[in-house]
Structure 1
Amino acid sequence: MPVHNNEIADIFEELADLLEIEDANPFRVRAYRNGARTVRSCGKSMHDLLNQKKDLSTLPDIGEDLAEKIKVIVETGKLPLLEEIESRTPSALSDLMKIEGLGPKRVKTLYKELRIKSLDDLKRAALSGKIRELKGFGRKTEQRIRERVEHFAGEAPRTRLTEAEEIAATLVDYLRNTEGVKDVIVAGSYRRRMETVGDLDILVTTSRNSPVMDRFSDYDEVDEVVSKGKTRCTVHLRSGMQVDLRVVPQVSYGAALHYFTGSKAHNIAVRKLGVKKGYKINEYGVFRDDERIAGRTEEEVYEQVGLPYIPPELRENRGEIEAARDDRLPELIRLEDIRGDLHCHSNASDGHHSLKQMAKAGVECGYEYLSINDHSRHVTVAHGLDKKRLLEQIKEIDKLNERLDGIVLLKSIELDILENGSLDLPDSVLKELDFTVCAVHYKFNLSRSKQTQRILRAMDNPYFNILAHPSGRLINEREPYEVDLEKIMEAASERECILELNAHPDRLDLTDERCMMAREMGVKMSISTDSHSTSDLDFMRFGINQARRGWLEAKDVINTLGLAELKKLLMRDG
């Protein structure tokens, strides 16, 4: 039974949480967190790498100890060290760490003082007024905890797209190797490239008497077969994800793909167009009375209602039907339009690889340029650069660029926006950079007005270029901070500043709807990976997914420009 990267990373994360609650050595805790990040973001399966006899200790932040632990997890599905710690510290305490505002010290206090071991215990304690009585908590903290635990508990569990991809890829390969199977495709929100996926809808076409249903229900990762028939089978996987498999006839393949890709609102709008023409549209085809007149391809379905093909990413009933009818569909950005990455870290701060290694990886991506954006001094946990170290790095990049062939390293920094709106380093050093990427990394709890003014004041600085991960959210982990993004976008347009679409699959910040807003307001964007290793550069495709869902074209994104045009645009005065 294959163990997926996200399962290994989850074990390391839980181990780090419990060790931190136990006041373990912070370097040991950080080692597991860094290891989890490496495994989760690795483009190759740990299971496959071990089968290929690869040395996992060569991966960033892994080393021999974690490599051996990964091997144990892959072979057994568990880790003895975690079981040992769980025997003395309840594993459910790790869930409490997912509640924003509850760090290890507070979780430890809640456990020791109130014997809180679970989210249910936490909710009861907050409702009873017991938490406010603890030292360091108070009434307001108790209220915030109650709100956040109710929000956390009320959300339907959804899987981040990158984790869903790993699950889906293994399953699709498995099904393709089934006798008689022709087409295999994952539909639903997965195909629309939503940032999170609720379940997987898989469509297959087969020859007669293919054993695909039996083979699917016998899949190693199936935990429960919910229902099974000749053309549909529903299972729950070990991960908890539900998967629906449907066998569809070739003549209905396009209609079924359209129907099960959704969204529901988009499909209803298309069906209404069909009704006006006297057609019935469903998963079996397009019908005039009882005659099927289309359905073999999606293009046929759209053609029958007078529309061109609409890409899956746009199918949310947010104006795409009207745009298609009026021949106004955007020419969506593609991965091959990207000329470089404008947000990457090196091992000078919290990245894993050297400048030269990052440059080589950029060449392999086919990039013309790649920016180095190590953290500034305020982010001490990331070994942020002060003025002296940044000036040294600038000289190092200049020397390296003289030797590089086929790519230029851009001199930049991920610059903290301080609470008062000033930038973390003086203008005297910022002027030596090609541009800056500025970000909020602390004081997320400011009021909407104060947070907005903080960013607006920062944008007044002539050396401010790009606002990184503008809402500060982490998908399934941290809510966006309160900020008026519409006002930020208005200011960005006026000041010739750029908004980043952070392509890291844990962030995907901005959201698709905010990307649409930026496009409508004429605000330029960058799509950048926030890479902390060479393998992270592959995250660009997730940013492209999000950009396409936000209707972005190549002309809306600055890193589709050549180097000379890019530098001119980033000068702020045009």
Structure 2
Amino acid sequence: MPLHNAEIAAIFVEIADLLEIQGQNPFRVRAYRNAARSVGEFGKSVATMIEQNEDLKVIPGIGDDLAGKMREIAATGKCDLLERLHNEMPAAITELLQVQGLGPKRVRAIHDALHVQTIEELHQAAKEGRIRELPGFGEVTEGHIVDTIEAHLHKSRRFRLALAEQYAQPLIAWLKATPGTREVVAAGSFRRRAATVGDLDILVTAHDAAPVMQRFVRYEEVAEVLSRGATRASITLRNRMQVDLRVVAPASFGAALVYFTGSKAHNIAMRRIAQEHGLKINEYGVFRKDKRIAGATEESVYEAIGLPWIPAELRENRGELQAARAHRLPTLIERSDLRGDLHAHTSASDGHDTMLDMALAARERGLSYLAITDHSSRLAVARGLDTKRLAKQIEEIDRINRTLEGIKLLKGIEVDILEDGSLDLPDAILTRLDVVVGAVHSHFGLPRAKQTERVLRAMENPCFSILAHPTGRLIEERAPCDIDLVRVIRKARECGCHLELNAHPERLDLADTYCQMAKAEGILVSINSDAHGRFDFDNLRHGIDEARRGWLEKSDVLNARTLDELRPLIRRAPMAAAPRAKLTSMKS
């Protein structure tokens, strides 16, 4: 049965949680957490690497012991250490760990004090006011637990896009191997490249649907067949993701792809436009009375109702149909448009590779400049740099640049924005840098007014270049900060600084709708990898997906500029006192 990186990562996370509850060595716990992150984000299939007898230790944070466990998981589907930990602990512990915001230590404290066995029992204990009485909790924490559990119990399961890809791609490959198939495409929110996916819609063209249907329900990862007909079927996979399959005739493929890709609002608006032309549009084609006049391709469907083809990422009914009618659709940013990356970490803080290794990896991926932005000293868990260490790094970057060809390293820092809006390092060292990336890493729960003023004050610092991951969200893990992004975006315009679209698949922050707002305000967005290792530059494609959903074009993206074009846009004091004008044209 196929093994996905996400499944290995989930096992390592659970091991880390259970070890932490037991009070095991924190370095051992951290090793499993780091391994989970590395494996989950790694761009190549671990199962494939094992099959090809490749060295698993090229994955950051993986040594002989963890590599052995990965091979054990691949061979048996389980891990002996995790089985032992489960046997040593109450079964309720694992279920309570599913509640967002309840870490291992709090789960153990609640279980030991209140003897709750299920999430429902935890919910009842919180509603009865019993949790606030425990040491280290209180009324506010208890209220948060109630809200979180209620959201957990009522929300439908969604999957981060990068995780959904791990399951969609092998399934599509499996279906493509069916004799007689012509096209196999994942539609829906997956094709629109939404940050999260609820289920998968797969369309197949084939003259004979029977072999496709048979192969689909026999896929190795099928947990349950929900329904099966002549041309339609639904299954759930082992990870609880639902997959709906439809086999359509080639003459209807384009119409079906339009129908199953667009959001509900987009499709309703499409039908209204069709009605204005005296036409009917559905998943089988575009019809004038009973005659199909289009449907084989998406382009033919849009053309039949007087529109140009609309990129899948835009099909959310956020103005794309009006723009299409007016011939003002954006020419969306492409991965090949990026010239550099302005947010990356090295082994000097919490990264895995040296500056030189990172530079060479970025160059291999077609980038011509890379900003080294290790953490500042306040983020102690990341071994952040103080003034002295940063000064030494500045000198080291100068030495590397003297011999490095094909790419330029920029001097930078990811400096913490403190609770009062000041920056973690003094201006005296920040003025020596090419780029200063400011970030919130603490006090996420500040009230809206305080959180907003905190960020606005930081942006007023003349050394400030880019606001990193502006809302602090971790998709499906941590909600965005309560912050007034309209004011933040307008402050960026006033101060002449920029906003980041962090391409890490757990962040994708700035989100698409705010990218569209930044574009409207003339604010440049920097699509950065936030790379912590040489393989992480591959995450830039996820940032491009989100940017395209936010209508961003090459001219809207800061790091789509050449280095010469970039420098005046990130220049600090005294030039920062005046707003930095947006470039309207760029060199090719």
- TM-score of the aligned structures, taking structure 2 as reference length: 0.96
CA contact (8 A) 1:445 1:482 kept: yes
Partner SS, residue 184 of structure 1: strand
Structure 1 residue 233 displacement after superposition? 1.3
Return the alpha-carbon distance in structure 1 between the equivalents of residues 159 and 133 of structure 2.
36
Amino acid at match of 1:319: G
CA contact (8 A) 1:343 1:372 kept: yes
Which residue of structure 1 lines up, in the alignment, with residue 28 of structure 2? Answer: 28
Which residue of structure 2 lines up, in the alignment, with residue 232 of structure 1? Answer: 232
Return the alpha-carbon distance in structure 2 between the equivalents of residues 455 and 208 of structure 1.
59
For residues 232-381 of structure 1, the aligned pairs below 5 Å read 232-381=232-381
Return the alpha-carbon distance in structure 1 between the equivalents of residues 552 and 96 of structure 2.
38
Which residue of structure 2 lines up, in the alignment, with residue 385 of structure 1? Answer: 385
- Per-residue CA deviations over 1:225-279 (Å, capped at 9, x if unaligned) read 1111121111111111111111100000100000111211101101111111111
- Per-residue CA deviations over 1:63-100 (Å, capped at 9, x if unaligned) read 01110111111111111111111112245534544545
Is 132-141 or 239-248 further displaced after alignment? 132-141
- Per-residue CA deviations over 1:344-365 (Å, capped at 9, x if unaligned) read 1111111111111101111111
Which residue of structure 1 lines up, in the alignment, with residue 535 of structure 2? Answer: 535
**CA root-mean-square deviation:** 1.2
Return the alpha-carbon distance in structure 1 between the equivalents of residues 546 and 307 of structure 2.
24
1:215 aligns with 2:215: yes
Structure 1 residue 544 displacement after superposition? 0.6
Amino acid at match of 2:434: D
Return the alpha-carbon distance in structure 1 between the equivalents of residues 371 and 536 of structure 2.
14
Which residue of structure 2 lines up, in the alignment, with residue 135 of structure 1? Answer: 135
Amino acid at match of 2:327: D
Partner SS, residue 88 of structure 2: coil
Which residue of structure 2 lines up, in the alignment, with residue 571 of structure 1? Answer: 571
Q: Quick one: structure 1 residues 484 and 99, their matched pair in 2 at CA, closer, same or farther if it must change by over 3 Å?
A: farther
Return the alpha-carbon distance in structure 2 between the equivalents of residues 382 and 278 of structure 1.
62
Which residue of structure 2 lines up, in the alignment, with residue 561 of structure 1? Answer: 561
For residues 108-257 of structure 1, the aligned pairs below 5 Å read 108-208=108-208, 211-257=211-257
CA contact (8 A) 1:181 1:210 kept: no
Partner SS, residue 73 of structure 1: helix
Return the alpha-carbon distance in structure 2 between the equivalents of residues 54 and 503 of structure 1.
28
Structure 1 residue 174 displacement after superposition? 0.9
Gaps of 5+ in 1: none
Is 73-82 or 25-34 further displaced after alignment? 73-82
CA contact (8 A) 1:98 1:477 kept: no
Structure 1 residue 117 displacement after superposition? 3.6
CA contact (8 A) 2:418 2:440 kept: yes
CA contact (8 A) 1:179 1:210 kept: no
Is 90-99 or 538-547 further displaced after alignment? 90-99
Partner SS, residue 132 of structure 2: helix
Identical columns (%): 56
Gaps of 5+ in 2: 581-588
Partner SS, residue 422 of structure 1: coil
Return the alpha-carbon distance in structure 2 between the equivalents of residues 178 and 47 of structure 1.
23
Structure 1 residue 303 displacement after superposition? 0.6
1:59 aligns with 2:74: no
Structure 1 residue 152 displacement after superposition? 2.5
- TM-score of the aligned structures, taking structure 1 as reference length: 0.98
Amino acid at match of 1:104: P
Amino acid at match of 1:464: F
Q: Quick one: structure 1 residues 226 and 159, their matched pair in 2 at CA, closer, same or farther if it must change by over 3 Å?
A: same
CA contact (8 A) 1:180 1:210 kept: no
Return the alpha-carbon distance in structure 1 between the equivalents of residues 261 and 151 of structure 2.
28
Return the alpha-carbon distance in structure 1 between the equivalents of residues 188 and 554 of structure 2.
26
- Per-residue CA deviations over 1:497-539 (Å, capped at 9, x if unaligned) read 1010001000001111111111112211100011111111001
Amino acid at match of 2:286: V
Return the alpha-carbon distance in structure 1 between the equivalents of residues 461 and 43 of structure 2.
38
Q: Quick one: structure 1 residues 247 and 101, their matched pair in 2 at CA, closer, same or farther if it must change by over 3 Å?
A: closer
Is 33-42 or 516-525 further displaced after alignment? 516-525
Amino acid at match of 1:405: E
